[in-house]
Amino acid sequence: MICNIAVGAAERLPTFRGGPWRTFVVALAAALTLTGCGSKNKNAIPSDASQPDRFLFERGTEAIMKEKWIDAREYFRQVVDNYPGSPLRADAKLGVADAYLNEGGTENLILGANEYREFLTFYPTHARADYAQFKLAMTHHKQMRAAARDQTETRDALKEFETFFDRYPNSPLMPEVRERWRESRDRLSEASYLVGLHYYRSKWPIGAINRFREVLADDPGYTHRDDVYYYLAESLIRVNRKDEAVVYFDRIVTEFEVSEHLVEAKKRVVELKGPELKTQ
């Protein structure tokens, strides 16, 4: 509309008056054509496109591959909004969500989570529902904070991963989901471990013991449990519970081929089990 007005005004200006004004308006019309007017047709569908929804979907897929996230969302959104009967509509909905997730940033991740949730609401039995649930969890996974900071997003990620396990036990995505779940669970366990380590360094062994045991009870598969074993054992020594301590030093030796505590754990086992070893 603005472009048409500018061009029309230029055409109606008399040639014998206001020469500079005519030049200005013509220049303005050209600029609008290259910017605002040109962008209007950026995602236009060719008149000869027999399947406009597929044309838009393919353009969106190409934009995703080129990491042109805004363009991708525009193409996919047109399919979602303008072609309710299209067989590509569900996949286009996921395309919008994926563009938000891949672009990243807090705001985009929140918007992406909303798109995945809407997909699961409208297409609960779709063949790619497992994918949507996985990516919903990943919108939280990507927002996880360092172990020493607030773990709300970590807990939210774990909640969505658990939903995946419950709903899609036979999904081919399961190995990758389990890997991301372990990363999230490790982050939460590390946060709890750091509290125990603080108690240990503050010379409050009972508090450290309770927290370290809590970590092992809640997450027996914690990747860095050798750290927990070591400081739990050292804390037990401080309260003269050496028989219990040796059990955890032993676990480091038997469960870990590589650990920064391995050499010291072996020394501790010899120290604490010395008399027993000599009688064997």
Model pLDDT for residues 177-234, shown as the tens digit of each residue: 999 999 999 999 999 999 999 999 999 999 999 999 999 999 999 999 999 999 999 9
Instruction: Dump pLDDT digits (tens) for 35-88.
Output: 444 344 555 676 556 799 999 999 999 999 999 999 999 999 999 999 999 999
Dump pLDDT digits (tens) for 246-270. 999 999 999 999 999 999 999 999 9
Q: Which architecture does CATH list for 190-279?
A: Alpha Horseshoe (1.25)
Give the chain's largest Cα–Cα span: 118
pLDDT at 273: 84
Buried b (16+ CB within 10 A) or exposed e, 121-155: eebeebebbbbbbbbbbbbbbbbbeebeeebebbe
Percent of the chain topping pLDDT 70: 81
- The domain spans of the chain are 2-33, 52-187, 190-279
Q: pTM for the whole thing?
A: 0.81
pLDDT digits (tens, 9 = 90+) for 169-192: 999 999 999 999 999 999 999 999
Whether 208 and 232 have beta carbons less than 8 Å apart is answered as yes
Average pLDDT of the residues of the chain: 87
pLDDT at 140 over 90: yes
Over residues 141-167, the pLDDT tens digits come to 999 999 999 999 999 999 999 999 999
Question: Matching CATH topology for 52-187 and 190-279?
Answer: yes
CATH fold, domain 52-187, is 1.25.40
